[in-house]
Amino acid sequence: MAKIIAVHSFRGGTGKSNLTANLAVATALQGLRVAIVDTDLQSPGIHVLFNIDETITKKALNDYLWNRSSIADTAYDVSSHLKIEGKGKVFLIPSSLNADEIAKIISEGYNVSLLNSGFRRLIKELRLDYLFIDTHPGLSRESLLSIAISDLLIILLRPDSQDFQGTAVTVNIARQLKVQKMMMLINKIPSRIDLLALQEKVEHIYQVPVAGMFRLSEDIAQLGSSGLFCLQYSNHPFTQAIKKVVHQAIIN
Ligand SMILES: Nc1ncnc2c1ncn2[C@@H]1O[C@H](COP(=O)(O)OP(=O)(O)OP(=O)(O)O)[C@@H](O)[C@H]1O
Ligand SMILES: [Mg+2]
């Protein structure tokens, strides 16, 4: 049975796109078929990590939402580009960076239930094991839908008072939507913060398990979303932490 994994954060810039892409690729490296859907229709970006900007001029999720294309036709197989060999596959469903397309989404809206049926079709047609959803920060129609239909909701936060407050809102809503399974990832943790104390604090506040913790890293900042960190730095502590989440929380 394929699983839908939504990655969300109440505030922006927490590292959702970077973590989603790295978790998905690390999952594919275990011989699994994964897709990543960029539901951040207002400010898309995850495609940048895959260096495939030119494909954005072809088909995107927007084409499916406006009935111009089937959802499967908006999926790009980026496995060979990432040099992933064997059974593992990574498909990317990007959102359009075209200004008119973004304006159309904001001004006209779209039938959000199409996303749900599109996800189901992708799972079937691409024979997926996992479908990862990268979301727009905060609460939007697509993030509420993603939360509601996910088998696993990953909530990302930084050790920051604004993130702590906002995350409480997301956790409450997820509970109201009766999300199947929820876990936290904490990103951008400064070196002087004690990991165990932070984990205990977060688990105590939200009563949700912390599945992974990632340090604020000069190396990730330096890469600046221009590639897949876990492929370029295979022995880095960030990559080890990603692999741990994949083994303990995703493919278990
Ligand atoms: N652990 C980390 N250490 C240092 N920089 C990081 C870390 N994780 C992510 N970043 C950087 O933070 C920035 C934002 O990351 P990203 O785009 O993944 O966040 P996001 O949550 O998807 O943002 P948005 O809410 O705008 O979609 C990027 O420049 C990325 O390289
Ligand atoms: Mg993002």
pLDDT tens digits, one per residue of 101-131: 999 999 998 888 999 999 999 999 999 999 9
Q: Are 228 and 17 in contact (CB under 8 A)?
A: no
Cβ 140 under 6 angstroms from ligand 1: no
Q: Is residue 133 one of the residues assigned to a domain?
A: yes
CATH number at residue 172: 3.40.50.300
Residue 90 has pLDDT above 70, yes or no: yes
Distance in angstroms (rounded) separating the CA atoms of residues 22 and 46: 11
Q: Which amino acid is residue 247, in one-letter code? A: H
250 found inside a domain: no
Among 143, 220, 222, residue to substitute to test ligand 1 (most atoms within 8 Å of Cβ): 220
Which position has the token pair 């036709």? 73
DSSP state at residue 56: G
Judge whether 224 lies within some domain.
yes
Quick check: is 74 in a domain? yes
User: 148 and 133 in contact (C-beta within 8 Å)?
Assistant: no
The CA distance from 248 to 203, in Å, is 17
Domain membership flag for residue 153:
yes
Contact 133, 7 (CB under 8 A): yes
**Bridge partners, residue 36, by sequence:** 92, 132
Structural domains of the chain, count: 1
**How far does the centroid of ligand 1 lie from the alpha carbon of residue 196, in Å?**
23
204: in domain: yes
Per-residue model confidence as pLDDT tens digits over 133-165: 999 999 988 889 999 999 999 999 999 999 999
At position 218, the amino acid (one-letter code) is E
Domain that holds residue 103: 3-245
Query: Does a structural domain hold residue 251?
Result: no
Model-level pTM greater than 0.75?
Answer: yes
Residue 80 main-chain phi, psi, to 5 deg: -70, -35
Q: Is 20 in the pocket of ligand 1 (CB under 6 A)?
A: no
Q: Going along 19-122, which residue ranges are E strands?
A: 33-38, 76-77, 89-93
